[in-house]
Structure 1
Amino acid sequence: MNIAVFGANGPTGRLLTKQAIEGGHRVTAVTRNPEAFPLRNARLNVFRGDVYDLASVEQAIEGQDAVLSTLGVPFSRQPISVYSQGMDHIAKAMNKHGVRRLVCVSSSATDPHIDPDGGFIFEKIVQPAIIKTIGRTLYEDMRRMEQQVKASNLDWTIVRPSGLFETLEVTPYQMAETYIKGRFTSRNDLAACLLEQASSEEYVRKVVAVATTAVKPSMLKLIMKEAFQKKHK
């Protein structure tokens, strides 16, 4: 399968690209800084592109079988548009070249559910602070992106992870339509879920939640990392 990965130079995008290559796929890794991309392989095309530039998006998507988006930016008090503007260009390019399959990353924070096991601090302090204050502009744009994707004529799947953390390998992650009980998702599991959806029809035109249950990170470390994450391109 020919796969284009947007946001390829982010932490999840790199894992996804690596897993896709190891799975025998041909990957076009779209990044603004190809010289900084750490992977090299005969089945990998590291493509200089920017989702704000429609022409480069169209060029990257031509000839693909599926498009996977791991676009991501840090929290900011300023308005964020990379998700919605980027998806607008991706959808236009896919329609132009007749590419149907789209799988994109969003977040469980776009549609939060009460977790009975979350506890008072998480439900009343941590989650509202992240969603309504620290990450307000980011999640607003993610919601705009989700609305665009749902309104499109593409064969889309929106993947919603929860608090992202690192594991050395893929674990037996769990998926469920719309919502799953679980506050954490490892990036390796998220990447594996995205790649699985590229060739599956189970969740076409649906929202799927993905969670890691075999391993759990420190809540404090996770919050600090999310709040002070460095910008990646």
Structure 2
Amino acid sequence: MKILVFGANGPTGRRVTQQALDEGHEVTAFTRRAFPRRHERLRVHTGDVHDPGSVDDAVAGQDAVISALGVPYTRKPVSVYSRGGAHIVAAMERHGVRRLVCVTSTVTGSDHVQTGGFVFNRILQPFLVNVVGRTVYADMAALEAAVRASDLDWTIVRPSGLYDADEVTAYRVGKDHVEGRFTSRADLADCLLRQVTDDQYVRAAIGVVTVVGEPSIATLIWREAFKGGRGARGAR
């Protein structure tokens, strides 16, 4: 299968790209920067998702698209998800590429459940969601709206708090929401790739959570949100 990965140079995107190559797929890595990996079945497309022409060129001839786009938390306006997503959807519709799998966050779900205890639920999470990550999550919600309005065979994947782990585990997946506070990027990458070839959750949003080897909440927030990481419950 020919798979295009947006955000291929991000922490999750690199994992998706490598795993797809390991499984024998032909992969196009869409990235703004030089890509460190070389492989006979890997094509690197240097571009910006804000440029519709660059997106269109990359989408042409693909069988499926995975969007692992992400930005760090910021209080500035964010448009990577909404504008980038709109360009991806338009290019896919134009070229007849139907399968889209994209990442947002459990925070964007209407049935988001707080499961972190009093301090996390009442202090830390509201601060992350409504202050530190407000613009990121708003743009993710706009991406979801654009994807849902399309005629594509889409799946929206919503991880919980992201962290790094070496191995894929027996993670949990469920429609709309799965109770759990954390998702390893290894499990998220595996889930994204599984959706490309599985139609169980076509035109649905799913939650994915890791249930073994969880980090502490304090460690996760410090590492991901306040030390330049990709977002405790946000960007990829």
Q: How would you bin the TM-score normalised by the shorter chain?
A: over 0.9
> Shift of the alpha carbon at 1:39?
1.2
- Residue pairs, 1:1-233, within 5 angstroms: 1-34=1-34, 37-111=35-109, 113-115=112-114, 117-230=115-228
User: 3-state SS of the aligned residue for 2:183?
Assistant: strand
Q: In 2, are the aligned partners of 1:114 and 1:123 still within 8 Å (CA)?
A: no
List gaps (5 residues or longer) in structure 1: none
Q: In 1, are the aligned partners of 2:3 and 2:62 still within 8 Å (CA)?
A: yes
User: 3-state SS of the aligned residue for 2:65?
Assistant: strand
- Say how many residue pairs are matched: 230
> Shift of the alpha carbon at 1:228?
2.5
2:84 & 2:113 partners in 1: Cα distance? 30
1:168 & 1:231 partners in 2: Cα distance? 17
2:160 & 2:29 partners in 1: Cα distance? 24
* TM-score scaled by length of structure 1: 0.95
> Shift of the alpha carbon at 1:113?
2.4
Q: Percent identity?
A: 54
* TM-score scaled by length of structure 2: 0.94
> Shift of the alpha carbon at 1:225?
2.1
Q: In 2, are the aligned partners of 1:83 and 1:142 still within 8 Å (CA)?
A: yes
- For residues 93-116 of structure 1, give each alpha carbon's deviation from its aligned partner in whole angstroms, at most 9, with x where no partner exists: 10111000000000001126234x
1:114 & 1:160 partners in 2: Cα distance? 13
* Amino acid in the other structure paired with 1:66: A
User: 3-state SS of the aligned residue for 1:202?
Assistant: coil
1:201 & 1:94 partners in 2: Cα distance? 18
List gaps (5 residues or longer) in structure 2: 231-235
Q: 1:68 to 1:26 in 2, by over 3 A?
A: same
> Shift of the alpha carbon at 1:231?
7.3
Q: 1:231 to 1:57 in 2, by over 3 A?
A: farther
Q: In 2, are the aligned partners of 1:185 and 1:210 still within 8 Å (CA)?
A: yes
> Shift of the alpha carbon at 1:229?
4.5
CA-based RMSD of the aligned residues comes to 1.4
